[in-house]
C-alpha cells in the first residue's frame, strides 16, 4: 500500500509523489543493491523511483518494479538523458526504456546542461549540441507516448532563462542539489513563478564528510528538532524540503532508514524558520557534494561555475546568500 504523503502537480497536469527513492549508488552500477533497495522501497509504500542512464542500474530498477507486484501505472518513474547522448535523445530514451523494461517513463530529465562526446569527453561550452538543441529534441519526444513530462537537472536561473527564451515547452521540473545548507531560495522562487517544480537530489547533504564539508545531519538545530519529534535528523531535513514545496529524492540501502525517510514530520513554523537559517551559519552555505573536487581547474564536467550560472567558488562554496 502506498504511503500517504503529499503529491505535487506538475505543469503537465500529472501528479508526482513528494518523496522518491534515489538510485545513484555512489558510482555507476551497484545493480543488485539498487534492485534490493527499490524492492524494499516499493514494499514500504514508495511510489516514486528516480534513476538515470548514467547510474548504470536501469535494468535492475526495472526488474524490481516488475517483480514488486505494484502496478506500473501506480509508480512514478524518472530517468535521465546522459551527457554523451545529447545528440541522440530519441535513441537514448529507447535504450533506457528497453533496460527498464517499460513502455514509458513519467519524467525524462536532461541530467546536465553539458554535452559530451560519445567517448565521454566534455564538449566546450556553447558548441553543438547545446542544451537548447538538446531540449528541442526532448520536446519532440513528448508526443510519442514514451514520456509523460520532460524536465532538466542542474540548471541555474541563467540557463533556464536562455532555455525558456528559445524553446516552446517549459520544463516540468528542475532537479538540483537542495538541502538546508544549499536552499537555493532564489532559484526556487524563480521556478515556482514559472510553474517549474524544484526537486532536491541529495536532500540529506550526502551523510559523511567530503574534504571538510560540514555535516548537515549533525547540525545542532537539526539534531534538536529530531529529538523533539523522536525522529531521525534525516526525517527532519526531508520534512523541511517537502513542507517548503520541493520534492525530495533520498537514497538509503538501510531498510529502517528507507522507511523513516518516507515518514514525514509535521514541523512547526518556528522549526521551519530555524532550518531555513542553517545556511547562514559560518561555513555552512555550500554544496556538500564531491564533484566540485573532480577537476584541478575548478570546472564541473567541463564548464566553469560562471558558465553554469552557479554563484560558487571552487569546492562548491556559495559566494553570498542566494
Mention every residue, 6+ apart, whose C-beta is less than 8 A from residue 107: 10, 16, 76, 77, 78, 79, 147, 148, 149, 150, 151, 172, 173
Q: Which of 195, 93, 85, 187 is nearest to 133 (CA)?
A: 85
Whether residue 199 contacts residue 176, with contact meaning beta carbons closer than 8 Å, is answered with yes
| Catalytic option among 55, 108, 201, 305 | 55
DSSP codes, 123-188: PPTTPSSPHHHHHHHHHHTGGGTSEEEEEEES--HHHHHHHHHH-SS--SEEEEE-BTTB--HHHH
3-state secondary structure of 86: coil
Instruction: Give the containing element (helix H, strand E) for 116.
Output: none
Spatial distance between the Cα atoms of 55 and 27, rounded to a whole number of angstroms: 7
Spatial distance between the Cα atoms of 248 and 17, rounded to a whole number of angstroms: 9
Instruction: Give the containing element (helix H, strand E) for 49.
Output: strand 48-50
104 is catalytic: no
Q: How far is CA 209 from the centre of its chain?
A: 20
Burial group, residue 50, by CB count within 10 angstroms (0-12, 13-18, 19+): buried
Spatial distance between the Cα atoms of 160 and 164, rounded to a whole number of angstroms: 6
Mention every residue, 6+ apart, whose C-beta is less than 8 A from residue 304: 125, 298
Q: Which of 198, 200, 187, 189 is nearest to 308 (CA)?
A: 187
Length, in residues, of the chain: 322
Q: What positions carry a catalytic annotation?
A: 55
Amino acid at each position: 500500500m502506498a504511503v500517504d504523503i503529499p503529491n505535487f502537480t506538475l505543469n503537465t497536469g500529472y501528479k508526482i509523489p513528494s518523496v522518491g527513492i534515489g538510485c545513484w549508488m555512489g558510482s555507476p552500477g551497484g545493480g543488485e543493491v539498487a534492485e534490493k533497495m527499490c524492492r524494499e522501497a516499493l514494499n514500504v509504500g514508495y511510489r516514486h523511483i528516480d534513476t538515470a542512464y548514467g547510474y548504470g542500474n536501469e535494468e535492475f530498477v526495472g526488474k524490481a518494479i516488475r517483480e514488486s507486484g505494484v502496478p506500473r501505472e501506480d509508480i512514478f518513474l524518472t530517468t535521465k538523458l546522459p551527457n554523451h547522448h545529447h545528440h541522440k535523445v530519441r535513441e537514448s530514451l529507447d535504450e533506457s526504456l528497453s533496460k527498464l523494461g517499460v513502455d514509458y517513463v513519467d519524467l525524462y530529465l536532461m541530467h546536465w546542461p553539458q554535452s559530451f562526446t560519445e567517448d565521454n569527453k566534455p564538449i566546450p561550452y556553447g558548441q553543438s549540441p547545446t542544451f537548447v538543441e538538446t531540449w528541442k529534441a526532448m520536446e519532440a519526444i513528448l508526443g510519442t507516448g514514451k514520456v509523460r513530462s520532460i524536465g532538466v537537472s542542474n540548471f541555474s536561473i541563467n540557463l533556464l532563462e536562455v532555455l525558456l527564451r528559445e524553446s516552446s515547452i517549459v520544463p516540468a521540473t528542475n532537479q538540483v542539489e537542495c538541502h538546508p545548507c544549499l536552499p537555493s531560495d532564489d532559484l526556487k522562487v524563480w521556478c515556482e513563478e514559472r510553474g517549474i517544480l524544484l526537486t532536491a537530489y541529495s536532500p540529506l547533504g550526502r551523510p559523511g564528510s567530503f574534504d571538510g564539508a560540514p555535516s548537515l545531519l549533525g547540525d545542532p538545530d537539526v539534531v534538536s528538532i529530531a529529538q523533539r519529534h523522536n525522529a531521525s535528523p534525516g526525517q527532519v531535513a526531508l520534512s523541511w524540503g517537502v513542507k517548503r514545496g520541493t520534492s525530495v529524492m533520498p537514497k538509503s540501502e538501510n531498510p529502517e532508514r528507507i522507511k523513516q525517510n518516507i515518514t514525514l514530520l509535521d514541523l512547526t513554523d518556528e522549526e521551519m524558520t530555524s532550518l531555513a537559517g542553517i545556511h547562514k551559519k559560518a561555513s555552512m552555505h555550500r554544496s556538500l557534494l564531491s564533484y566540485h573536487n573532480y577537476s584541478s581547474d575548478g570546472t564541473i564536467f567541463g564548464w566553469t561555475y560562471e558558465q553554469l550560472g552557479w554563484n560558487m567558488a571552487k569546492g562548491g562554496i556559495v559566494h553570498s546568500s542566494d
